[in-house]
Amino acid sequence: MKKFFAALLCLLILCTPVTAHAEAAPEIVSETAVVIDAGTGQVLYDKNMNRQMYPASITKVLTGLLAVENGNLSDTVTVGETAIAGIDGSVSYMALHPGEEISLEGLMYGLAIESANDAANAIAEHISGSISSFRDLMNSRAARAGAKNSHFENPNGLHSENHYTTAYDMAMIARTAMANPEFATIWGSENYTLAATNKSESFRIWHRHALLLSTSQYYYPYAIGGKTGYTDEAGRTL
């Protein structure tokens, strides 16, 4: 009887609802979302977190992670013709020129702050020799970061039917990336002045993430980094 009572007591304790003391989950308009503890990876909030979606430019988080892990920020990158092929004023870009010599650090800031698609391509070619080889590196690194339902086709996030991820996978990739001090410094910067190159004058760029802009009505001083994205097919991503 004592053993039964103890078991019953444990069952009652485990079955006691705790929701009465918890705040209601937030109402959000996005189709999918997740909040995780960056230290442990524990999921704190989930809305369709494993549904496959198009990521748009938040893809660049993975590209930036691979850049700092496989390159040196002081590297000089020579921009190739293929890095700027198909990149024009209809998408975000730095207006890089063939033969332009720019530091990997400069490209990283262009990637993070300006969301430059040509910078993403130039980084990919510098790290892996070609965008196709970099794609393989992206998928293997994403899996090691904890991504389970993703496939990446390019380093910039421009639309491809076979380029997709999930809220959970991107959270795990971002968690891994923000643990890298070089990455975190760049991704949390409000603005950056790009040095002059052999093809361009020096100019300043400002982050597109409103939470990181001190002049924005949405500025949040506790935000330490982030990335936004948009394509017609993906909608707005964060």
Q: Which residues are tagged catalytic?
A: 57, 60, 115
Q: Report the chain's C-alpha Rg in angstroms.
A: 21
Distance CA 46, CA 57 (A): 22
The H or E element containing residue 83 is: helix 81-84
Cβ neighbours of residue 118 closer than 8 Å, sequence gap 6 or more: 79, 83, 84, 87, 93, 94, 95, 96
Q: What type of residue sits at position 152? A: F
Distance CA 188, CA 171 (A): 16
Nearest-CA neighbor of 36 among 145, 170, 135?
170
Buried b (16+ CB within 10 A) or exposed e, 189-209: beebebeebeebeeeebebbb
DSSP letter for 72, please. Answer: -
